């Protein structure tokens, strides 16, 4: 069962992409750690972290593409799942600070001491254990997606309505996490992390390991999503996207189909968030901003929705562009991003990868047609009475 | 010095005399006496001066008001050379003198030639009471009313006599009512007999309000046993009354918020509700409207400051034109290529919103711009226990006017007919000779223009910054979706329902949690009724 | 209870009695009653707005009736079930506008329609068995699409899409098939072939065909029910129905 799932998952493009990711996971840390800074192939640590961050963005875009590109659910709330995963990891990292915080309280994080709290809130229990935090980074977003999706899909909230209420969901969470009473550090969020699994979070080795972890997580997610979309279930998802009522009248429970994809996607987003936080060193309510969710959509759109490689390419390109732009011409970044939204939807609806694929297919068809024609003229020349 | 003592003794006699004669005798008193009394303030001890002020108050002559006010402010000085007392204003190293009674200019003196009439808080309190009593006699009803209200706020047993006297002669019913309340309040803090106090409690309870409540609570601690039950029930009554007014105030705030939501959402009700276009740049249209107001006011301030009261009237059509034009360009340039693909429209218009925000930020800067309220929009008035600000009131009126205008436009004009025809059956409309592309463009421009108008109104109550629109976009969508897409009345009901709901949740849950609760409720509501409150039911046309 | 459908409920495959539904005051169905026998091929005609599509919506669970009974196989109350459940019970529906999965191949369309377990995990780990492969190939030849099995459905002609959709319904193995205007937009040759196909299909199951094309209905040569304004106007052979004065006034006469 699993083997056939995997066999289907590993198409040629996916194998190449996974191989590239695994090579990067090994090579980049090696070049960072094993070479000196004057070596021509040396990869500086800030680049490692920067690209590690891009990889988590790529994972988030892939997660969104699973529901948007393949199932037609345009979620404008994926930043919420990402941020929840991030908060779960952030809570672990806060607990790891222990008595090294400014107030030196061994149990309570600094912001709680500052707010005069005497006890650790119940929902902070267990986050001193890495495995628990890692589990929660997947479970909490998955649970939210399950509850939200269960209500929404069951009552057939569709299309833009769904987009709008997912946006409202992340907006509500944004407001909630801004509150100090929530117990997640309010406005400032969680930061000043010291170490992860006992390793200094600032150290080059940790940074490289986090990069490698992000690359591997992305590779695994790629295999899983590929398996999903190539299975019969994946074909049903596309069927839901293109002709929802036909799927329904064939006897499929569309709400279950959507719910599964939505929950898997939210869990992947949660993992992305959990990997993101230790690499950037902070998580705050700003991550819930609805604008962030929409930005994820444009990454997927630029790369090509409905393809698996597309969102990864898109996320890395757009964020690379953002890093360069905001450093060189900060005034113009929003113009560029806004323009990107308009231009991609108008002129590149399939995205880079989708358009490239279309181009390759056309060439192939053209070549096939020409070969067929050549064969026919040849055959006709050889045997005039032979038809087809 | 002995002569002055004698003089002062005589004055005391005079004061005693004044107590005996009534206020009616005021007119007979010679101005000279007043001047003597005022002059006597110079050099007296605090206690002496308190008596002196009380004596002055008893004259009931409004002419002494400026002198007493100056004394309380510390602007009353005595000239060392002749003992005359003046009100002074600093003029370089000298003082400008003003006659304490007539208010005429009386030359200048070196600072050293004058001695300040000293004042302390005890004296100030006496002055305040005295002024209250004095102004109670003023021929101007407005001044009397104010005086009575001052006493009502700071009642004291000392004011009672003045109040009684004033009540006897008062003819203006409004002033009389306040006087009675002030008297009741004063009785309560005096040592009058219990019966009289009970009556006073009844009057205070009738007055109601937070001041009465604190007055009664204050009295409760020092009152004797027989009065306690009366006071306690009185407090209870006032509290109930206050709760009722608070609910009323909440409704008012809710209506106010609802009108803001309505303004923000009503343009969207056209573009999203009628045309089905998801315009994420809608908030930015509102923002552009607000900035148009800002520009108009800047020009007026710099060139025609007299026309400031007209600034909003000028900004309204301009904002409509500016945002309508932006909308037209958007529809022709982008949206028309995306009809039938709502999710793509959402993304493209989001891109436009980013561009518009950054454009405004680049031109006007990222900070808040100051947009002023014309005089007719500022201030507030009391309505029973409600405080009503003029700008909020005007915005409610304005939002309803815009709504009525739009309803009229859609239902009663040829343009509205064409719009509805195109949305209901595009092909049929176009074969009837309606130029559907232009109707699309104009409808979108109309929706955008309305958003711009909303921006003019919102500039009066919100910060005008490039992020202005962002704050409204989610709320607006919620209103339209909640009310039911394609139904203007739904938008109206949706906006006010959400506004009032929000304001009622706020006291219990706090502003942020209240907003979250409303969002969650809407999300649940959409699950229940995916097409909103006033959705049209119809045969499933989609296959 | 309507005498027309008196005691037929236990033996029927589809049983509608007194079904009414209205949208914003417009009565789309007005006490509609009729019965389909097992193995029957029935044609339903009626002018626009007679309630044909609404009737299908009600049978397939897309719309809930305001009042009335709808029973499948005599005992299953369809008004309590949703589309997916009703489809799984064995009622297939073809839409007026051909609705197939355009971005899938013809083969995948049929694979999805195949009557197999339809849960999330059973589809996630589904493997195409030899049996399923044979069944799909059989259907492909029935609907004459064998040589186009690897093409995307989007690239089929209009008539081929109609047939693919019928093929998908066959793969679904329904006991009752509802077909909404199957020959709209088809050429005459295609129309005739479709009539043959439907008659073939009706040998193994019940079929209800909603159609405007009188020639096509004559080709089918079956019992006809004429609807008007949400209720049954006349029922019988095509000659009987088309001679009925009310039907002429309401439909044919216009």
Q: What is the pLDDT of residues B238-288, one digit of tens each?
A: 888 888 888 888 888 889 889 989 988 988 888 887 788 888 999 999 999
- Across the interface, of A238, A247, A260, the residue whose CB is closest to C103 is A238
A339 exposure class (CB count in 10 Å sphere: 0-12, 13-18, 19+)? middle
> Position of tokens 């999330």?
C120
The pLDDT tens digits of the residues spanning C4-20 come to 445 567 788 899 998 99
C93 in contact with A, Cβ within 8 Å: yes
Number of domains, chain C: 1
Phi/psi zone of residue A183: left (φ > 0), alpha (ψ -120 to 50 degrees), beta?
Answer: left
Token pair of C92 as six digits: 């297939």
Within-domain flag for C155: yes
| B30 pLDDT more than 60 | no
Q: What is the mean pLDDT of residues B190-213?
A: 75
- Cβ contact C97–B543 (<8 Å): yes
Range of the domain at C120: 14-252
Q: Please give the share of chain C, as a percent, with pLDDT higher than 70.
A: 95
DSSP letter for C248, please.
I
Residues of chain A found within 8 Å of residue C60, distances taken between Cβ atoms: 249
B-contacting residues in A 185-224 (Cβ below 8 Å): none
Q: Is residue C218 part of a domain?
A: yes
The confidence score (pLDDT) of residue A235 equals: 94
Residue B17 has pLDDT above 70, yes or no: no
A48 at B interface, C-beta within 8 A: no
| Nearest-angstrom CA–CA distance, B146 and B132 | 9
Residue B533: its chain A contacts at CB < 8 A? none
Minimum CA–CA partner of A344 in chain B = B348
Alpha helices in chain A (DSSP H): 2-9, 12-33, 45-71, 78-97, 110-114, 130-154, 159-178, 204-230, 232-242, 244-249, 254-280, 290-303, 309-328, 333-347, 351-382
Pairing label, strands C231-236, C26-36: unpaired
**Selected residue with higher pLDDT from C250 and B240:** B240
CA distances from C156 to A302, A368, C40, C104 (A): 30, 19, 31, 11
Q: Which residues are CB-contacts of A180 (< 8 A; sequence separation ≥ 6)?
A: A111, A115, A186, A187
Is the Cβ pair B539, C62 closer than 8 Å? no
Q: Phi, psi (5° rounding) for residue A256?
A: -70, -40
> Which residues, listed in sequence order, are joined to residue C178 by a DSSP beta bridge?
C93, C208
Where are chain A's structural domains? 2-349
CB pairs under 8 A between B and C: 19
Instruction: Find chain C residues with C-beta within 8 A of A228's C-beta.
Output: 124
How many H helices and E strands in chain C?
10, 10
Q: Which residues of A touch C (CB under 8 A)?
A: 1-2, 4-5, 228, 231-233, 235-236, 238-239, 242-243, 245-254, 256-257, 260
What mean pLDDT, rounded, does chain A reach? 90
DSSP string over A252-281:
--HHHHHHHHHHHHHHHHHHHHHHHHHHHT
pLDDT digits over A10-44, tens only? 888 899 999 999 999 999 999 988 888 888 888 89
Nearest CA in chain B to A249: B543
Average pLDDT of the residues in A219-231: 94
C248 Cβ under 8 Å from any chain A Cβ: no
Q: What whole-number distance in Å separates Cα of residue B192 and Cα of residue B488?
A: 63
Residue B261 or B197, more confident: B261
Least confident of A132-146, B406-420, C234-248: C234-248
Beta bridge partners of C16: C34, C70
Interface touch A161/B530, C-beta < 8 Å: yes
All chains having 3 or more CB pairs closer than 8 angstroms to chain C? A, B
Shortest Cα–Cα distance, A27 to chain B (Å): 37
The nearest alpha carbon in chain C to A3 belongs to C125
Find the Cα–Cα–Cα–Cα dihedral B268, B274, B275, B280, rounded to 10°.
20
C92 part of contact set with chain A, CB < 8 Å? yes
Q: Take residue C102 and report the two structure tokens written for it.
A: 């355009």
Distance from CA of C93 to the nearest CA of B (A): 11
Which tokens hold the place of B192? 């009058």
B477 CA to chain C: closest CA distance, Å? 25
Tell which residue, A273, A361, A355, has the closest CA to residue A60. Answer: A273
Best of C23, C101, C165 to substitute, by most chain B Cβ atoms within 10 angstroms, is: C23
Q: What is the pLDDT of residue A59?
A: 97
Q: What pLDDT shows up at residue C2? A: 45
Structure tokens at C16: 């509608």
Assess contact for A313 and A13: CB atoms under 8 A: no
- Rounded to an integer, the average pLDDT of A318-336 is 90
Q: How far apart are CA B512 and CA A176, in angstroms?
A: 7
Q: Given this model, what pLDDT does residue C1 score?
A: 41
Mean pLDDT of C207-234: 85
Q: If we measure between CA atoms, which residue out of A317, A337, A213 comes closest to residue A275?
A: A213
User: How far is residue B73 CA from its own chain's centroid?
Assistant: 29
Q: Which pTM does this prediction carry?
A: 0.80
With beta carbons under 8 A apart, name residues in chain B contacting A75: none
Taking CB atoms and an 8 Å cutoff, what residues of chain B touch C23?
537-539
Report the chain A residue with the minimal C-alpha distance to residue C177: A249
Out of A179, A334, A345, closest to residue B347 by CB: A345
Structure-token pair, residue B108: 């200048």
C248 CA: distance to closest CA in chain A (Å): 35
DSSP letter (8 states) at residue B117: P
Give the gap in angstroms from C-alpha A349 to the nearest C-alpha of chain C: 16
Residues of B with CB under 8 A from a CB of A: 278, 280, 334, 337-338, 342-348, 350-359, 361-362, 470, 474, 477-478, 481, 512-513, 515-516, 519-520, 522-524, 526-528, 530, 542-543
Q: Which residue has the higher pLDDT, A65 or B16?
A: A65
Residue range(s) occupied by CATH 1.10.3470 in chain B: 245-528
Report domain B245-528's class: mainly alpha
Q: On the CB side of C67, how many CA atoms lie within 13 Å of its CA?
A: 5
Closest C-alpha to B347, from C243, A340, A113? A340
Using a CB-CB cut-off of 8 Å, the residues of chain B touching C28 are: 539
In chain B the first and final C-alpha atoms are separated, in Å, by 112
Name which of C95, C96, C94, C98 is nearest C160 in CA terms.
C98
Residues of chain C contacting B536 with CB distance shorter than 8 Å: 24
pLDDT for C51-105, tens place per residue?
888 888 899 988 888 889 899 988 889 888 888 999 999 999 988 888 899 999 9
Asked if the Cβ–Cβ distance from A245 to C62 is below 8 Å, we say yes
| Residue B336 Cα to chain centre, angstroms | 45
* Cβ pairs bridging A and B (under 8 Å): 123
Q: Which long-range contacts (CB under 8 A, 24 or more apart) does B140-146 make?
A: B141/B172, B141/B174, B141/B175, B144/B170, B144/B172, B144/B175, B145/B172, B145/B174, B145/B175, B145/B178
Which of C101, C102, C120 minimises the CB distance to A233?
Answer: C120
CATH code for the domain of C115: 3.40.50.300
Work out the burial of residue B422: count CB atoms within 10 Å of its CB; fewer than 13 is exposed, 13-18 middle, 19 or more buried.
buried
Selected for mutation to probe chain B from A172, A176, A339, A340 (highest B CB count within 10 Å) is: A172
Average pLDDT, chain B: 81
pLDDT at A213 over 80: yes
For residue B16, name the pLDDT band (cuts at 50, 70, 90): low
| A235 vs C contacts (CB less than 8 Å) | 101, 104, 108, 111-112
Q: DSSP state, A288?
A: G
What are chain B's partners, defined as 3 or more CB pairs within 8 angstroms?
Answer: A, C
pLDDT, one tens digit per residue, over B128-147 is 777 766 777 777 777 777 77
Among A148, A291, A335, whose Cβ lies nearest the Cβ of B358?
A: A335
The H-or-E segment that residue C20 falls in is strand C14-23
Backbone angles phi, psi at B260, to 5 degrees: -65, -45
């Amino acid at each position: 069962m699993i083997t056939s799932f995997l066999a289907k998952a590993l198409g040629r493009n996916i194998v190449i992409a996974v191989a590239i990711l695994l090579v990067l996971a090994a090579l980049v840390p090696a070049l960072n750690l094993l070479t000196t800074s004057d070596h021509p192939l040396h990869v500086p640590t800030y680049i490692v972290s920067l690209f590690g961050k891009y990889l988590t963005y790529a994972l988030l875009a892939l997660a969104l593409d699973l529901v948007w590109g393949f199932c037609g659910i345009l979620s404008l709330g994926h930043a919420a799942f990402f941020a929840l995963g991030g908060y779960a990891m952030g809570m672990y990292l806060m607990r790891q600070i222990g008595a090294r915080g400014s107030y030196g309280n061994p149990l309570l994080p600094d912001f709680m001491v500052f707010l005069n709290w005497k006890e650790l809130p119940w929902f902070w229990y267990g986050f001193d254990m890495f495995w628990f935090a890692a589990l929660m980074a997947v479970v909490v977003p998955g649970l939210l997606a399950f509850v939200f999706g269960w209500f929404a899909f069951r009552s057939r909230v569709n299309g833009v309505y769904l987009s709008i209420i997912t946006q409202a969901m992340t907006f509500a969470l944004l407001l909630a996490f801004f509150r100090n009473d929530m117990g997640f550090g309010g406005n400032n969020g969680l930061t000043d992390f010291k170490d992860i699994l006992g390793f200094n979070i600032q150290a080059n080795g940790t940074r490289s390991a986090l990069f490698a972890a992000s690359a591997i997580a992305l590779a695994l997610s790629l295999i899983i999503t590929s398996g999903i979309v190539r299975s019969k279930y994946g074909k049903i998802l596309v069927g839901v996207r293109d002709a929802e009522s036909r799927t329904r009248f064939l006897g499929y429970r569309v709400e279950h189909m959507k719910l599964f994809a939505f929950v898997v996607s939210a869990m992947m987003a949660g993992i992305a968030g959990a990997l993101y936080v230790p690499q950037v060193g902070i998580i705050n309510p700003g991550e819930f901003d609805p604008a962030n969710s929409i930005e994820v959509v444009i990454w997927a759109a630029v790369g090509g929705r409905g393809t698996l490689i597309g969102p990864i390419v898109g996320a890395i390109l757009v964020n690379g562009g953002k890093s360069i732009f905001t450093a060189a011409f900060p005034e113009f970044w929003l113009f560029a991003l806004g323009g990107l939204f308009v231009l991609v939807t108008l002129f590149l609806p399939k995205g880079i990868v989708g358009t490239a694929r279309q181009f390759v297919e056309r060439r192939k068809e053209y070549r096939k047609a020409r070969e067929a024609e050549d064969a026919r003229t040849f055959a006709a020349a050889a045997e005039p009475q032979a038809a087809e | 010095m002995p002569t002055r003592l004698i003089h002062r003794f005589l004055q005391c006699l005079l004061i005693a005399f004044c107590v005996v004669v009534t206020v009616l005798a005021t007119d007979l008193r010679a101005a000279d006496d007043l001047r003597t009394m005022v002059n006597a303030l110079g050099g007296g001890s605090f206690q002496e001066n308190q008596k002196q002020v009380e004596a002055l108050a008893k004259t009931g002559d409004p002419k002494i008001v400026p002198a007493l006010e100056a004394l309380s402010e510390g602007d009353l000085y005595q000239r060392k050379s002749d003992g005359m007392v003046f009100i002074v204003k600093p003029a370089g190293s000298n003082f400008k003198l003003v006659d304490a009674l007539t208010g005429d200019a009386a030359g200048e003196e070196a600072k050293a030639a004058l001695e300040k009439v000293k004042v302390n808080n005890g004296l100030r309190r006496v002055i305040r009471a005295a002024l209250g009593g004095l102004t109670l006699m003023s021929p101007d009803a407005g001044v009397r009313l104010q005086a009575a209200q001052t006493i009502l706020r700071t009642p004291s047993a000392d004011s009672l006599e003045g109040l009684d006297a004033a009540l006897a002669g008062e003819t203006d019913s409004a002033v009389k009512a306040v006087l009675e309340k002030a008297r009741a309040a004063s009785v309560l803090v005096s040592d009058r007999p219990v019966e009289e106090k009970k009556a006073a409690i009844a009057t205070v309870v009738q007055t109601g309000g937070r001041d009465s409540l604190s007055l009664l609570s204050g009295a409760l601690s020092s009152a004797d046993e027989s009065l306690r039950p009366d006071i306690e029930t009185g407090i209870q009554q006032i509290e109930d009354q206050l709760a009722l007014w608070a609910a009323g105030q909440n409704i008012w705030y809710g209506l106010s918020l609802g009108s803001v939501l309505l303004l923000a959402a009503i343009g969207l009700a056209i573009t999203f509700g009628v045309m089905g276009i998801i315009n994420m740049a809608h908030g930015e249209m509102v923002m552009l409207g607000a900035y148009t107001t800002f520009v108009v006011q800047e020009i007026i301030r710099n060139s025609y400051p007299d026309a400031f009261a007209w600034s909003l009237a000028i900004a309204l059509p301009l904002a409509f034109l500016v945002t309508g034009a932006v909308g037209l360009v958007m529809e022709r340039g982008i949206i028309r290529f995306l009809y039938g693909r709502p999710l793509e429209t959402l993304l493209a218009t989001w891109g436009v919103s980013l561009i518009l925000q950054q454009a405004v930020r680049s031109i006007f800067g990222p900070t808040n711009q100051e947009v002023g309220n014309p005089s007719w929009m500022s201030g507030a008035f009391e309505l029973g226990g409600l405080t009503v600000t003029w700008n909020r009131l005007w915005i409610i009126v304005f939002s309803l006017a815009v709504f009525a205008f739009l309803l009229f436009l859609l239902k009663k004009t040829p343009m509205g007919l064409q719009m509805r025809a195109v949305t209901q059956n595009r092909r049929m409309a176009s074969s009837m000779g309606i130029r559907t592309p232009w109707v699309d463009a104009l409808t979108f421009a109309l929706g955008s223009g309305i958003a711009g108008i909303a921006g003019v109104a919102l500039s009066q109550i919100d910060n005008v910054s490039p992020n202005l629109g962002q704050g409204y976009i989610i709320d607006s969508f919620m209103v339209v979706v909640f009310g039911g897409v394609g139904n203007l009345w739904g938008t109206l009901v949706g906006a006010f329902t959400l506004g009032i709901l929000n304001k009622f949740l706020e006291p219990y849950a706090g502003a942020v949690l209240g907003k979250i609760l409303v969002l969650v409720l809407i999300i649940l509501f959409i699950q229940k009724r995916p097409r909103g409150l006033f959705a049209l039911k119809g045969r499933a046309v989609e296959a | 209870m309507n005498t027309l459908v008196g005691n037929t409920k236990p033996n029927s495959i589809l049983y509608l009695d007194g079904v009414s539904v209205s949208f914003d005051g417009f009565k789309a169905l007005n006490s509609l009653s009729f019965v389909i026998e097992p193995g029957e091929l029935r044609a339903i005609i009626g002018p626009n707005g007679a309630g044909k599509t609404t009737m299908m919506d009600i049978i397939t669970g897309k719309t809930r009736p305001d009042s009335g009974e709808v029973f499948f196989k005599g005992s299953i109350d369809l008004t309590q079930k949703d589309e997916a459940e009703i489809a799984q019970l064995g009622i297939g529906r073809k839409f007026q506008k051909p609705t197939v999965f355009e971005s899938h191949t013809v083969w995948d369309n049929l694979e999805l329609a195949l009557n197999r377990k339809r849960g999330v995990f059973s589809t996630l780990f589904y493997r195409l068995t030899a049996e399923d492969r044979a069944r799909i190939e059989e259907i492909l030849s029935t609907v004459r699409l064998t040589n186009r099995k690897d093409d995307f459905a989007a690239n089929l002609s209009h008539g081929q899409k109609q047939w693919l959709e019928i093929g998908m319904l066959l793969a679904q193995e329904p006991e009752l098939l509802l077909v909404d205007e199957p020959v709209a937009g088809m050429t005459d040759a295609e129309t005739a072939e479709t009539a043959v196909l439907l008659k073939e299909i009706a040998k193994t199951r019940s079929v209800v065909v909603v159609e405007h094309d009188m020639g096509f209905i004559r080709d089918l040569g079956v019992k006809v029910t004429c609807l008007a304004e949400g209720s049954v106007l006349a029922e019988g052979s095509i000659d009987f129905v088309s001679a009925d004065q009310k039907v002429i006034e309401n439909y044919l006469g216009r």
